[in-house]
C-alpha cells in the first residue's frame, strides 16, 4: 500500500513538474510574442489627447497632437538607416471606386483605424495589417458624386472606446472601437448640398465637425457634439443669414456689417469649415479655419463691397460654448477661392527676443502667417510662393495689399496663386528640433471672369465664373489681363516641397516636385531628422533625398508609430480602386505588390 501510495505520489509529482515545465515554456514563448492589445485596453481619454505630443508610440489624433504638428519624437529610423526601410506589410483596402483616399489613419492600442472613399471605415492590426472590422454606411451615390470635391474624407477621431467620422450625407457617427458596430448617429446637416469631409477632432469630450461645399453656395458652419450621446452642444455659423431675422449668435451681427448690398443669404455665402482645426488646452481655445465665398466673386454676393466676415479667416472660440474670442481675416473680401482651411500648427517661437505662443498658417492665398494664438495679434507674414500676382505684400496689421487689377469683373484676369491655391488640404509639419515647417507648395494660376449671365441655381456648383472657350484652330487665345506688376514676377510653376523657417520668414530649402505630380500628400517630420512625403524621405536639415519608393501615386499624409520596440511608417497610396495601406520598417523585406488593372476590382 505504501509503495502504491508512493508511486501515486511520484506520478503526481512528475505530472505537476511536467505541467509546470510546460507552463514555463508556454510563458517564455508568450513573452517572446507580441503582447495582445485590444481597443478596450487602450481607450483614448482627454488626458491621452492632451499628452499626445509626449506619447511617441501612438498616433491618436489627426495631427498626432492637438497642436497639429505632424511631428513624431520617434528616432529609431533616422538619416543613417532610412535606406534600410522595407515593406513590413500592406493591405488592399478595397476602397469603393470613384473616390480618392485623403484620410490620415490613427493608431492606438496596436490597432490602426481609418476611413476610405465613400466613408467606409475600417480597423487593422497595426503589427501585421490583419483585418479586424469594416463598416460601410452605404452612402447613396446620386447627387453627392457631383459635389466638390469628390466623395472623400480626411480622417476619423478615436475617444473613449469609439471611432467618429463625419459622413457625406451630413451624419456624424460613432462606432464601437473594438467591433465597428454603429453606436449612435446624428444628422448634422439638412441641406442636401452640404457634406462633411473634414477630419473630426475631439476637444474636452466633444466631437468638433465642420461643413463642406462652399462651391454649392451653402452657409458655412462648425459644431460641437457630446461624444457620448451625439447631442448638439453648440453651433457656430461662419457667415450671417437673412439680416431681417434674428442672428443665431451675436458675432453674426458684427459680420453682417461687412456684407454690403445684395442677398447673399439666398445663395448661402460660403465660409465652410472643411479642414484646419487645432486646440490649445492651456489657453482653452479651439482654432478653426474658414473657407471661400459662395459664389466666388464678391460682386455677386455683396455688390456693395465689404470684407465679408468670416470668409477666409482664422477663428478662436471657447470649446465649451462656441463663443468667439478673436478672429483674423487672411483674405478680406475673398474673391479667388482662397480658403483658410489649410491645416494649422501651434508652437512656441522666439520672436523679437521673447518666446511667443503662436499659430502658424500657410493658406491658399500664398502668405505664411504667424499669429499670437492667445490674442490673435498679427506678428509677421511673408509670401511663401515664388510667384504671386494678386497681392504685393501685407500691411502692418497683416491685411493683403492687393495688386491693381487683381479684382476681376466680366473681363478675364489671370492671377497667381490660382483657385487650386498655394497650399491645399495636405498637412504641413513642424519639427521643434530643426525649427522648420515642411509644406507642399503649389505654384499655379487661374483665370477668373464673372459670368454676366449667372443665375443662382440650387443643387449645382454656383461659382459664378465664366468658362472661357478654347481658342479656335489657328486663332490666338482670348485676351487675358494680369494684375499690375505681374510681368516682374519670376516665371515659376509646379509643385515644391519647402522647408520654411518661421523665425525669419524665409525658405531654408526648396525641392522641385520633379515628375511627382501625384506625390502630393502631406508631410511628416520625425526626431530622426527626417521629413516624409509621397513615398520619400528627406534630410530635415538639408533637403537631401535619402529614400524613395514608388507606390503608384495617390499618396496620403504618412504616420509613424512604435510597437514592441519597432518603428513603423505607414502610407495610403495607389490609385483607385486598388488603394493600399503600405507599412514600412527597418530591414523588412516583403515584396511590394504589383498594381492591377483598375477595372478588375472595386465596388461602386
Candidate list 275, 337, 564, 599, residue with the active-site label: 337
Q: Is the CB of residue 384 less than 8 Å from the CB of residue 441?
A: yes
| Grid cell in block for residue 339 | 480658403
Cα(596)–Cα(576) distance, integer angstroms:
10
| Grid cell in block for residue 78 | 533616422
252: left (phi over 0), alpha (psi -120 to 50) or beta: alpha
Closest to 312 in 3D by CA, of 273, 280, 254, 264? 273
- Rounded to 5 degrees, what angle do the CA atoms 410, 411, 415 make? 110
337 is catalytic: yes
Cα(496)–Cα(574) distance, integer angstroms:
21
What's phi and psi for 346, nearest 5 deg?
Answer: -100, 135
- Which of helix, strand or coil describes residue 326? strand
Q: Read off the DSSP letter of residue 24.
A: H
Q: Is the CB of residue 588 less than 8 Å from the CB of residue 86?
A: yes
β strands within 428-479, DSSP E: 429-431, 436-443, 446-448
What's phi and psi for 134, nearest 5 deg?
Answer: -145, 140
Sheet with 162-166, side-by-side order of all strands: 157-159, 162-166, 171-176, 182-187
- Rounded to 5 degrees, what angle do the CA atoms 225, 231, 236 make? 45
Cα(294)–Cα(421) distance, integer angstroms:
16
Residue with cell 481658342: 471
Burial class (CB within 10 angstroms; exposed 0-12, middle 13-18, buried 19+) of 183: middle
Cα(47)–Cα(37) distance, integer angstroms:
20
Residue with cell 467618429: 164
Residue with cell 465679408: 308
Cα(148)–Cα(212) distance, integer angstroms:
8
- Rounded to 5 degrees, what angle do the CA atoms 598, 603, 604 make? 100
**What radius of gyration do the chain's Cα atoms show?**
26
Closest to 186 in 3D by CA, of 202, 209, 205? 209
Residue 256's contacts (CB-CB under 8 Å, 6 or more residues apart) are 240, 243, 247
Q: Is the CB of residue 63 less than 8 Å from the CB of residue 161?
A: no
| Grid cell in block for residue 161 | 472606446
- Which of helix, strand or coil describes residue 465? strand
Which strand (E) or helix (H) includes residue 175? strand 171-176
Residue 386's contacts (CB-CB under 8 Å, 6 or more residues apart) are 443, 490, 492
Active site amino acids: 337
Amino acid at each position: 500500500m505504501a509503495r502504491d501510495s508512493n508511486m501515486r505520489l511520484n506520478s503526481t509529482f512528475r505530472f505537476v513538474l511536467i505541467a509546470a515545465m510546460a507552463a514555463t515554456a508556454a510563458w517564455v514563448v508568450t513573452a517572446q510574442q507580441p503582447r495582445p492589445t485590444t481597443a478596450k485596453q487602450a481607450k483614448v481619454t482627454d488626458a491621452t489627447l492632451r499628452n499626445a505630443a509626449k506619447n511617441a508610440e501612438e498616433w491618436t489624433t489627426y495631427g498626432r497632437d492637438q497642436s497639429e504638428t505632424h511631428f513624431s519624437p520617434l528616432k529609431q529610423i533616422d538619416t543613417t538607416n532610412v535606406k534600410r526601410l522595407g515593406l513590413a506589410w500592406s493591405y488592399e483596402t478595397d476602397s469603393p471606386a470613384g473616390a480618392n483616399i485623403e484620410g490620415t489613419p490613427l493608431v492606438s492600442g496596436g490597432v490602426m483605424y481609418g476611413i476610405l472613399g465613400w466613408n467606409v471605415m475600417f480597423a487593422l492590426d497595426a503589427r501585421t495589417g490583419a483585418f479586424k472590422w469594416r463598416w460601410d454606411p452605404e452612402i447613396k451615390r446620386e447627387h453627392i458624386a457631383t459635389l466638390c470635391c469628390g466623395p472623400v474624407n480626411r480622417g476619423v477621431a478615436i475617444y473613449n472606446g469609439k471611432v467618429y467620422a463625419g459622413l457625406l450625407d451630413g451624419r456624424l457617427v460613432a462606432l464601437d472601437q473594438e467591433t465597428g458596430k454603429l453606436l449612435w448617429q446624428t444628422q448634422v446637416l439638412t441641406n442636401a448640398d452640404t457634406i462633411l469631409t473634414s477630419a473630426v477632432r475631439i476637444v474636452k469630450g466633444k466631437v468638433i465637425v465642420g461643413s463642406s461645399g462652399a462651391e454649392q453656395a451653402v452657409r458655412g458652419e462648425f459644431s460641437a457634439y457630446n461624444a457620448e450621446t451625439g447631442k448638439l452642444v453648440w453651433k457656430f455659423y461662419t457667415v450671417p443669414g437673412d439680416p431681417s431675422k434674428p442672428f443665431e449668435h451675436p458675432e453674426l451681427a458684427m459680420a453682417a456689417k461687412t456684407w454690403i448690398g445684395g442677398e447673399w443669404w439666398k445663395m448661402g455665402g460660403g465660409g465652410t469649415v472643411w479642414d484646419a482645426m487645432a486646440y490649445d488646452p492651456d489657453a482653452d481655445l479651439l482654432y478653426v479655419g474658414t473657407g471661400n465665398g459662395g459664389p466666388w466673386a464678391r460682386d455677386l454676393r455683396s455688390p456693395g463691397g465689404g470684407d465679408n466676415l468670416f470668409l477666409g479667416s482664422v477663428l478662436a472660440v471657447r470649446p465649451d460654448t462656441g463663443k468667439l474670442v478673436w478672429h483674423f481675416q487672411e483674405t478680406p473680401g475673398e474673391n479667388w477661392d482662397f480658403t483658410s482651411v489649410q491645416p494649422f500648427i501651434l508652437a512656441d517661437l522666439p520672436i523679437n527676443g521673447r518666446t511667443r505662443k503662436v499659430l502658424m498658417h500657410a493658406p491658399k492665398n500664398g502668405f505664411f502667417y504667424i499669429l499670437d494664438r492667445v490674442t490673435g495679434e498679427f506678428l509677421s507674414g511673408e509670401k511663401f510662393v515664388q510667384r504671386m500676382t494678386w497681392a504685393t505684400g501685407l500691411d502692418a496689421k497683416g491685411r493683403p495689399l492687393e495688386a491693381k487689377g487683381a479684382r476681376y469683373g466680366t473681363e478675364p484676369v489671370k492671377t497667381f496663386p490660382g483657385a487650386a491655391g498655394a497650399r491645399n488640404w495636405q498637412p504641413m509639419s513642424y519639427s521643434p528640433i530643426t525649427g522648420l515647417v515642411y509644406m507642399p507648395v503649389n505654384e499655379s494660376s487661374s483665370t477668373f471672369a464673372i459670368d454676366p449671365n449667372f443665375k443662382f441655381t440650387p443643387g449645382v456648383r454656383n461659382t459664378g465664373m465664366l468658362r472661357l472657350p478654347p481658342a479656335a484652330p489657328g486663332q490666338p487665345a482670348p485676351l487675358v489681363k494680369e494684375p499690375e506688376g505681374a510681368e516682374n514676377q519670376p516665371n515659376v510653376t509646379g509643385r515644391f516641397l519647402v522647408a520654411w523657417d518661421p523665425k525669419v520668414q524665409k525658405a531654408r530649402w526648396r525641392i522641385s516636385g520633379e515628375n511627382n505630380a501625384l506625390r502630393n500628400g502631406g508631410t511628416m517630420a520625425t526626431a530622426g531628422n527626417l521629413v516624409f512625403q509621397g513615398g520619400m524621405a528627406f534630410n530635415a536639415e538639408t533637403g537631401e533625398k535619402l529614400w524613395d519608393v514608388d507606390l503608384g501615386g495617390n499618396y496620403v499624409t504618412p504616420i509613424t508609430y512604435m510597437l514592441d520596440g519597432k518603428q513603423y511608417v505607414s502610407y495610403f497610396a495607389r490609385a483607385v480602386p486598388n488603394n493600399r495601406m503600405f507599412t514600412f520598417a527597418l530591414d523588412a523585406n516583403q515584396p511590394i505588390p504589383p498594381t492591377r488593372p483598375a477595372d478588375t476590382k472595386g465596388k461602386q
